[in-house]
Amino acid sequence: MIRRGRIASRRASRGWSLVELAVVLVVVGAIGVLLWRLLPLAPQVAAGDLAGRELAQAEQALVGHVLAHGRLPAPALRNGVGVLPVDDLGLPERLAVRYQVQPSLTVSPGDEFRPLLPPDPVIDPAAPVQTGFVNGLDFCMALKGAEALSLTGMDNIPTAFALMHGGPAGHEAMATAAFALPGSPGLGDRRVLAVGPGEFASRLGCPDRVARAHGAARAAYAAYDVARVANEYQRMRAFAISVAEMNLENAETAELFAGFDVAYGVFLEAVAILQEAAGWPPDGLAIATGIASHVTATIQLGIAISNLAAAVEDLEAARADQLVAQNQLAAANTNLQRMDTLASGALTHARVLDEKGLEP
């Protein structure tokens, strides 16, 4: 055991073998070759990343300008070349990125987005309302109108704006450089960012915001129509109250006349009895006349009592109908108030969305 340990210690003290050294040298050589090939590319990669970051920064600044002002900025001139207006966008002065844009997108579009809203019951119950807010939604409509327009060097492809970065050569090297589509062979190290109207509208959130504003306007009109139906129903219930009151008055009058008929029938009975009494001692003609008058009076009294009973029933029914009509009118008033509140809220919501525009 002692001998084997001594042999192992002697082997360990000899160091690396030639094979191990050869492997290490091969690995170090491979790494050196890779570094020799890749290190010259590092500045180009860094320059490309810088160009991409600056173009992305410029694009975000343009988006912010549209959200704040409802339009794109016009190019600034530097040595006769259109560049990004860094002062207006709050960007560093060194960022001299070439910039071209549709002229129609650099001016306020006016009130192009005007969803039709229902009448305002406070201002004019008969006149439809046209909103008048100028904001990003109007710019969305301007972008829609620019879908068929292109810019110089964009090969007739619809373009809202285009940015060009000089790449590793720097911004000042682009004084005479021409715009071309991104990825074109003639660009070289230059980087181009071209954004179409539809793409820019999507980045701004135009489809969603315009759809929401239009949907709110349609909902406001639907609520307005429901409120109109509720108003007509309330008017019908109010008319039903008038009819019920008129029926009640007629029933009360009928009861009064029926009572009078009963009293008159009683009077005729009394007259008939007197006629019969006047024929005593027996007088055939007088008695016959009295009997006939008594029969007639009895029939009239029976009819009067029957009419009185019917009049009482009609009066009770009229009172019940009036109570039902009053309850229906109260329910109609409550429903009308609720529908008016709903319509007013829907109209306010539609106005708020239009006034808010593209703001978060």
Residue 119 confidence (pLDDT): 81
Q: Please indicate, yes or no, if residue 217 is contained in any of the structural domains.
A: no
The answer, as to whether pTM is greater than 0.75, is: no
DSSP assignment of 174-233, as one string?
Answer: GTTPPP--TT-GGGTT-EEEEE-HHHHHHHHTHHHHHHHHHHHHHHHHHHHHHHHHHHHH
Indicate if 239 and 123 belong to the same structural domain. Answer: no
Residues 161 and 149: beta-carbon distance below 8 Å: no
Domains identified in the chain, total number? 2
Indicate if 204 and 129 belong to the same structural domain. Answer: yes
Residue 182 confidence (pLDDT): 87
Indicate if 245 and 195 belong to the same structural domain. Answer: no
Q: Please indicate, yes or no, if residue 7 is contained in any of the structural domains.
A: no
CA–CA gap between residue 179 and residue 360 (Å, rounded): 34
Residue 85 confidence (pLDDT): 93
CA–CA gap between residue 188 and residue 265 (Å, rounded): 121
Indicate if 204 and 237 belong to the same structural domain. Answer: no
Residue 42 confidence (pLDDT): 40
Q: Please indicate, yes or no, if residue 220 is contained in any of the structural domains.
A: no
Residue 101 confidence (pLDDT): 96
Cβ-based neighbours of 319, under 8 Å, separated by 6 or more: 248, 251
Residues 130 and 117: beta-carbon distance below 8 Å: yes
pLDDT lower than 70: segments of the chain: 1-26, 28-30, 32-48, 121-132, 168-176, 269, 272-294
Indicate if 285 and 170 belong to the same structural domain. Answer: no
Residue 7 confidence (pLDDT): 46
Indicate if 124 and 233 belong to the same structural domain. Answer: no
Residue 229 confidence (pLDDT): 92
Q: Please indicate, yes or no, if residue 253 is contained in any of the structural domains.
A: yes
Indicate if 66 and 201 belong to the same structural domain. Answer: yes
Provide the domain limits for residue 268: 227-356
Task: Count CA atoms within 13 Å of residue 203 on its CB side.
Answer: 17
CA–CA gap between residue 312 and residue 320 (Å, rounded): 12
Q: Is 181 left (phi over 0), alpha (psi -120 to 50) or beta?
A: beta
